[in-house]
Structure 1
Amino acid sequence: MHIKKSVFHPITANNASFLSSKIAVGESFEPLIKIEGQHPRIFAKPIYHQQKIPNSLQVIYVREGVYERLQEALSVLPKIYSLVLYDGYRPFQVQQYLFTHFAQEVAQRFPHLSEQEIDSETRRYVAFPSLDCAHLVPHLTGGAVDITLGDINGHALNLGTAFDEISAKSTTRYFEQFPNENHKACTYRRLLYNCMTMAGFTNYSEEWWHYDYNNIAWARRVQAQSASYGAVQAVIHNHYVKEFNFI
């Protein structure tokens, strides 16, 4: 009962200072697996394929350990809720497309910003497409997921913003500061955050939907010296991963 109650606890600010030293990647060679109905409370809805983004995947892939921890998250989440996955492993070409698309949207919404400010604002919402170990794209590792809370039938609940929305309200703790603005969304975000972090994930504070495990972004937040998930290069055929290798 204590664990079940704790999933409703407020989301606390993450005051951990990131390690300044370079984080090593000791690749575990854990495979990518498809999420396709293995668990009755995990629903895969690949949003970028639905948006017809070039080279996007028709199914969601994650590292094996990520899937195991999603099951752990469900073990503490009340049974009337489910987890809805929007994205997992993301091909490099899709990351490039998204960065360009978001930069254009930021420039249109904030025409007064300089090019440098546009780049900085864009990086709040989408990682710069990089294979460099120090700035490795989290989704390229298979250790990042974009996820939301759903009802028992897999219908996404309202967590206060649309997925990928460029807004101050997209920050994970927004409704902790303004709980009366949307009490239900505040509760849903707490449920999602607590069940995911109890399972070992860490959250990117600018996006309530983004969680990491065992990649460099995760290692920085937990102050680990190394990560086990490096970059994965995949051959894509008809929007499926045909084969992959570790780089």
Structure 2
Amino acid sequence: MNVTDSTHRPIADIAEPQWEAIAAIPIADEGAPLHPLSLAAPTLRTLPIYHTLGVPRAVPECWTREALYRRLLSVARHLPDGLGLVVLDAWRPYVVQRYLYDTLLGMVEARYADLDAADRRVLTRAFVSPPSERPECPSPHLTGGAVDVTLCDADGLLLDMGSAFDEARASSHTVHFEHHADEAESRTWRDRRRILYHAMVDAGFANLPSEWWHYSYGDQMWAWYHGEPRALFGPTAPDSLEARWHRSLGLTE
């Protein structure tokens, strides 16, 4: 992986996801467990953003599958000197996904009351996926195959990327500053996004074009962008004490 010159590599326009086609991709999940990314410190930094922001029932850890864990470590180790990778969110409980979607949809409905319901759902989906626990089509973060990431400086201070994480606005689109970089500040934002994008994509991730921070590996969106015949990860959850007791006693859960 070579990201030292990535500020000179433009981000090409990214195809908009075709959600019906993505939902039709079969999933072949072998049941790989989730791992806490806090164990990767100090190479990789984590900031469980929804827990920090007080979102109800958000978890205080960033959990992800081993394949992502190792790729994120590789990205962090190969960033240019003075930069660090920060994971803001990874596996996300269904109840949190439901809260995020319902809350944003309510705000979109209030702001764009003149639009029909279908258009308001499209606007909402650009930033929050509809909540789903269905084994054949789960919400991306429920699989442990989606992560939200950003960059920090050597002291751990988050860098300005041109829009804040989860801002529902046009400037949050990954390539926005490829087309709107008329001033030095916006060129800085463009270059930081280039560094993050190329580091993640070169490590095998796929980016959601409406969110500069959202990347996935192994979920259905990743499979669609990479032309894979099947996704690797379905819905999952961190192991629990109760589940361990069930297994050790030979009980059905």
Number of aligned residues: 240
1:1-247, aligned counterparts within 5 Å? 4-6=4-6, 8-15=8-15, 20=21, 22-133=24-135, 135-181=137-183, 182-234=186-238
- Superposition deviation, residue 55 in structure 1: 1.4
Q: Deviations over 1:190-234 (max 9, x none)?
A: 000000011111100000000000111100110100111111145
Q: Which moved more, 1:212-221 or 1:124-133?
A: 124-133
2:74 corresponds to which letter in structure 1? E
Q: Is the 8 A contact 1:37 1:43 kept in 2?
A: no
- Superposition deviation, residue 187 in structure 1: 0.6
1:162 counterpart SS class: coil
Q: Is the 8 A contact 1:150 1:156 kept in 2?
A: yes
* Structure with larger Rg: 2
In structure 1, list runs of 5 or more residues that go unmatched. 236-240
2:13 corresponds to which letter in structure 1? A
Q: Deviations over 1:141-174 (max 9, x none)?
A: 0010011111122211000001110101110000
- Judging changes above 3 Å, is the alpha-carbon distance between structure 1 residues 244 and 189 closer, same or farther for their aligned structure 2 residues? farther
- Judging changes above 3 Å, is the alpha-carbon distance between structure 1 residues 107 and 242 closer, same or farther for their aligned structure 2 residues? farther
- Judging changes above 3 Å, is the alpha-carbon distance between structure 1 residues 151 and 112 closer, same or farther for their aligned structure 2 residues? same
1:56 corresponds to which letter in structure 2? A
Q: Deviations over 1:128-147 (max 9, x none)?
A: 01133554211000010011
Q: Deviations over 1:40-75 (max 9, x none)?
A: 242111111112111110111111111100112123
Query: What CA distance in whole angstroms lies between the structure 2 residues aligned with 1:43 and 1:2?
Result: 21
In structure 2, list runs of 5 or more residues that go unmatched. 245-253
2:88 corresponds to which letter in structure 1? Y
Higher strand share: 1
Q: Is the 8 A contact 1:234 1:243 kept in 2?
A: no
Query: What CA distance in whole angstroms lies between the structure 2 residues aligned with 1:3 and 1:164?
Result: 25
- Superposition deviation, residue 17 in structure 1: 8.4
Identity %: 34
Query: What CA distance in whole angstroms lies between the structure 1 residues aligned with 2:213 and 2:37?
Result: 18
2:10 corresponds to which letter in structure 1? P
- Superposition deviation, residue 20 in structure 1: 4.1
- Judging changes above 3 Å, is the alpha-carbon distance between structure 1 residues 119 and 3 closer, same or farther for their aligned structure 2 residues? closer
Query: What CA distance in whole angstroms lies between the structure 2 residues aligned with 1:179 and 1:211?
Result: 23
Query: What CA distance in whole angstroms lies between the structure 2 residues aligned with 1:50 and 1:82?
Result: 20
Q: Which moved more, 1:11-20 or 1:60-69?
A: 11-20
Q: Is the 8 A contact 2:7 2:191 kept in 1?
A: no
- Taking only aligned residues, the RMSD between alpha carbons, in angstroms, comes to 2.4
Query: What CA distance in whole angstroms lies between the structure 2 residues aligned with 1:243 and 1:32?
Result: 16
- Superposition deviation, residue 32 in structure 1: 0.6
Q: Is the 8 A contact 2:45 2:84 kept in 1?
A: yes
